[in-house]
Structures are given as structure tokens and as C-alpha cells.
Chains A and B, each alone.
Chain A
């Protein structure tokens, strides 16, 4: 689309020099508007990318990023050789892997079940309720998790009452429970919200396909298999691939609110480690290296996932 308009303006200004400059002058207010956002991205996004260079330096706050001495890859080597390297990598991967294999299919299934509802009002009421957790602050959610899972909290009371356990479980102190709590609460938080995009895809399916299926004698089950699922498959695939692309991108927020030294063994992920050692203990260069390592891995995974998505589903992020 850009090509014909360019040629058109070129012929219009034939004879005059630099049509590009003329267009830019004509659009000067647009560039003026762009200036503050561009400055924002330069100062708050690109400058820290440059600042990530301290990963290769022995950062000294008095010398600044510019003048601190270079030390090459020493910070990275220190990280790869440390005993917590594999632990962090494993925890980061498992945390998002379990989230993916549980929350992702559950969201698709939830959307499909909602789609089968015939009473409009009931459907929209359930949707409204299911999106609600998405808007509750993480602090409040974690406060509730802590309260519900403590000995004497409602979960333990329920388990004792049913008789599954004989004494209360210290859920947040036992490392083996951390991932279940993380994923379970994640399911509660995001099931409804994640289903929106599938519901959008479902509403985009041409109704005549269903009518044709009914004429062919297909029941609801057959319609689901032959019309509904193929209809949302592209959306499901793109989101699946993108989710795989963010497998090592686990946020620190929920974890730092819930973990404690007794659960580090399963709960500590790369980003929480960076927060703890970097911000709290001011070990800047080393944790900048750890963070940069994570950023590069995330970006690489996403690029690969995007390429696979483009080849297999014809749609991609860029």
C-alpha cells in the first residue's frame, strides 16, 4: 500500500528537490508529537539496555557505568558455575511449564464450555464473575493465599473436616507445595481472563458452518469436533507457541510475596534471585549479568517461537 502513494507524491512534486524533506516539513507536527514518547523509550527502555553493560564490568557506583573497569564474561562464568544456577533454571522452567500445561488447556476448555451455554444472561454473568480475579491486586491475592493456607485457615480446616489429613499442613513452609500453590492461584487469577481471546475466536466462526453441519445431521459433539475446534485452532496454536516462547520469563511479583528461605529450594527463580541479590544486597554487576542472561534467553526463545508460528500458522508477532 505504501508504494503507490509514494510514487504519486513523487510525480506531484516532480522537478522540486527532495520530496521526502517536503513531506517531513508538512508532517512536522506529527514528528513533534512523537518526540516525547520517543524520549520516554530512549530514557527508560534503551538507556537501561545500554546500562546492562555493567554485566561485563566491575561496577563501582562512584565511577559510574562509563568508567567502571571491564571484566569480560567473569560475572557470567561466576553464575554458570555457582551451585544455584541449575536450581534457578529448573525452578524457573518448572514454574512456567506447570502453569502452561494446566492453565493453558483449562482456559481453552473454559471458553468452550461457556460457548455451549444457551442462556445469554447466564453466560455473561459467569464471564463477569470469572474476569473479576484479574483485577484484584496481587498483594490482596497473596494475602488471601497466606491466610487460606495457614494452619487454621479455611483450606486446612476443610481438609481436616473431610478427614484427608490428620493435622494441618504448613503449605507455605513446605517446599513441595510451592509450585502447586503458585499454579493453583494462577489458575484462579487468569482462567476467565485468558478465555476472552478464545471466546472472541469462537464468535468469529461463521454461523453458516454450524447450519450446514446440522443439515448434515451432526449433533453437538460432532459440531464441536468438526466446526468449533478447527475454527479456533489457529488462535490456540499462536497462543501456545507464544507461551512456549516465554517459558523462562517468570515474574518476581507473586513469588517474592509468597516465598521465604524455607521454600527457596523450589520457589527461587531467576528474577527473584536478581531482585534479592541485586536490589536488596546491591550486588549490581553480578545480578545484571544474571538478568541479561535471562533477557537474552527469553528473546531467543520468542524469536524461535515466532518463526515457528509464522511457518505453521501464518501469523506472527512481527
Chain B
């Protein structure tokens, strides 16, 4: 549209650009502040002299983080939970989504209702918690992998995608004598890479950021994921400082400088892959939206 813009439109467009630029700044600034603080001198941070650029540039905080054995152990645990958890999620979600995407499956609407109902009603936290204890999963790695192994919402997104695969392809597989398992593996899945990418990302980010299940189900510290260690460093220590009024002692200074570096170390993987993958995230939301 090469329509000439009126003065009012020009003013609006400029204001809009300025406003959205300010918004972007506000979205980014907290992370930027954390980044520059992680390279700054602890005293400079405590006396709020750090704003846009590192003050007293150094790597001391990172040295402390890298020397901290519990952070490395927790990092390893988180990688395990992300890897194993996402694998379980993908297999189970696919196994549920594929049969329910087939038009001629008897009882399909019953199974769908059975699954969708769980999105809207739940027994609540306490019965779920007691269930995990009863099953003997308490204080084991399984407690973070099995409950929540399928997200009903993701299952529906995946099913919607499978439904878009032409029936003729599946029929031709049948004519060639392939059974449903072979059809899924050889025909459907190779065509479904976009949705599998989306699911992998949703589930993996979920595991990476998850902490509540670990907090209520794990007691053995050697099983802790990174987020729980982060919680100790970022939240519990701050709360103690805040409530006890300690602001100047040595413990406070150390926790202060290590805090920002830990955030960066724990968030870096997401920040690095995010710009490359964000279009898949968006695609996932779109596929989900089509259903409604």
C-alpha cells in the first residue's frame, strides 16, 4: 500500500516506534543488568553504582560459581532430567496423539474426553503428592520424570498436526502391508518434524525451568536440579538477609556477587538457543490455537 501518510499518521507511527522501543528496553534491561552485574565488583553492586556497564570488571563471581561443586552436580542432574524427561514426554505424547488422530478409531471420542477432562479438573496438590509417595517414587529421580509425563494440551496440539497428514499416505502404507506401528515410524513421524521440534522445545524448557516437583518430592541433595540450588542462592539467602537485616557482612557480599553469575550460568543455554528457536515456539502456540 503506497498511500501517502497524513501528519497525524506520521506522528502516531513515530510515537508507536518510540513506545515499542521503550517496551523492548524494559523487556531486556533486567537480563542486561544481571549480565553486567555478574562481571562487576561486589562493592559496586551493593552501593548501586552498576547501571548499564560493568563497574570494576572481573571474573571473580564466575570463579566462585565454577568452584562450587553443588552447582556442577545440579547442572548434571538438570541435564539428565531434561534429556530423560523430554524423551519420556515425546514417546508417550506421540503414542497418545497418533491413534487419536485416526478417523476410524472406535472409542476415540471417549478417550479424548478422558484426556481433556484432566485439563480442567484435578484432584489437587495433596492427593497428587500422596500418590507419588504411595507409588514409592518419593525421593527418587522418577518423581520428576513420571508425574506430568504427558501434557494433555501438547497431546492435543500434536494430534491436530497428525490430523493434517493426508489419509492417502497412510492408506498407501496399509496397501504396502505396513502395520500401524510401521506407518507411524516410517510415514507419519518423518512428516511431523516441525511439531516434534515444537514439542521437544516446550517439554525441554519445562524441565529446565522446573523446580516445584523437585522441591516437594526430593530430599536427597545429590538429586537436586539446578533450579533448586538457584532457589537457595537467590531466594532463601536473600530472604534471610532481608529479614535479619544483615547487609554488610562477608557472607552477604559473597552471596551478592555469586548471585548474578549463577543466574547467567543457569539461563545461558536458553538465552543462546532462544533466538534461533523462537519461531518454533510461536508455531507451537499457533497450532494449539487452531484447535480452539
Nearest Cβ on chain A to B121's Cβ, whole angstroms: 5
**Chain A CB within 10 Å, residue with most, of B12, B13, B125, B270:** B125
Give the chain B neighbours of A54 by CB distance below 8 A: 126-127, 130
Give the chain B neighbours of A126 by CB distance below 8 A: 20-21, 23-24
Q: Is the CB of A147 within 8 A of B27?
A: no
Give the chain B neighbours of A51 by CB distance below 8 A: 123, 127-128, 130-131
Given contacts A29-B181, A44-B147, A143-B234, contact A122 B17 (CB under 8 A): yes
Q: Is the CB of A275 within 8 A of B125?
A: yes
Q: Choose from B126, B247, B259, B292 the contact partner of A317 (Cβ within 8 Å).
A: B292
Query: A37 within 8 Å of B by Cβ?
Result: yes
Closest-by-CB residue of A relative to B236 is A257
Which of B57-65, B79-87, B189-197, B277-285 interfaces with chain A? B277-285
Q: Choose from B31, B242, B285 the contact partner of A136 (Cβ within 8 Å).
A: B31
State A219–B6 Cα separation when bound (angstroms): 9
Q: Is the CB of B130 within 8 A of A20?
A: no
Nearest Cβ on chain A to B100's Cβ, whole angstroms: 7
Q: Is the CB of A172 within 8 A of B242?
A: yes
Closest-by-CB residue of A relative to B284 is A196
Q: Is the CB of B230 within 8 A of A143?
A: yes
Q: Is the CB of A49 within 8 A of B104?
A: no
Q: Is the CB of B127 within 8 A of A139?
A: no
Interface of A, secondary structure class, is: helix
Query: B221 within 8 Å of A by Cβ?
Result: no
State A51–B123 Cα separation when bound (angstroms): 7
**Chain A CB within 10 Å, residue with most, of B34, B93, B124:** B124
Give the chain A neighbours of B209 by CB distance below 8 A: 135-139
Give the chain B neighbours of A114 by CB distance below 8 A: 20
CB interface residues, B 166-190, toward A, < 8 Å: 179-181, 184
Q: Is the CB of A139 within 8 A of B180?
A: no
Q: Is the CB of A37 within 8 A of B92?
A: yes
Closest-by-CB residue of B relative to A142 is B235
Q: Is the CB of A135 within 8 A of B274?
A: yes
For the complex, count residues of A whose C-beta is within 8 A of B. Answer: 100
Q: Is the CB of B147 within 8 A of A137?
A: no
Q: Is the CB of B27 within 8 A of A192?
A: yes
Interface size band for B: 35 or more
**Chain B CB within 10 Å, residue with most, of A52, A65, A117, A173:** A52
Given contacts A144-B34, A146-B235, A150-B238, contact A131 B123 (CB under 8 A): no
Q: Is the CB of A214 within 8 A of B1?
A: yes
Query: A63 within 8 Å of B by Cβ?
Result: no
Q: Is the CB of A188 within 8 A of B26?
A: yes
Q: Is the CB of A49 within 8 A of B285?
A: no
A19-55 interface bits toward B, Cβ cutoff 8 Å, 1 = contact, 0 = none: 0100110010111011011101101111111111010
Query: A318 within 8 Å of B by Cβ?
Result: yes
State A34–B216 Cα separation when bound (angstroms): 30
Q: Is the CB of B234 within 8 A of A142?
A: yes
Q: Is the CB of A117 within 8 A of B179?
A: no
Query: A271 within 8 Å of B by Cβ?
Result: yes
Nearest Cβ on chain B to A251's Cβ, whole angstroms: 9
Query: A113 within 8 Å of B by Cβ?
Result: yes
Q: Choose from B146, B150, B263 the contact partner of A144 (Cβ within 8 Å).
A: B263
Nearest Cβ on chain B to A8's Cβ, whole angstroms: 10
Nearest Cβ on chain B to A311's Cβ, whole angstroms: 16
Identify the B interface with A (CB < 8 A).
Answer: 1, 3, 6, 8-9, 12-13, 16-17, 19-21, 23-24, 26-28, 30-31, 33-34, 46-48, 51, 92-93, 95-96, 98-100, 102-106, 111, 113-116, 118, 120-131, 135, 146-150, 155, 179-181, 184, 205, 208-209, 211-212, 216, 227, 230-231, 233-235, 238-239, 242-243, 247, 259, 263, 266-267, 270, 274-275, 278, 281-282, 285-286, 289, 292
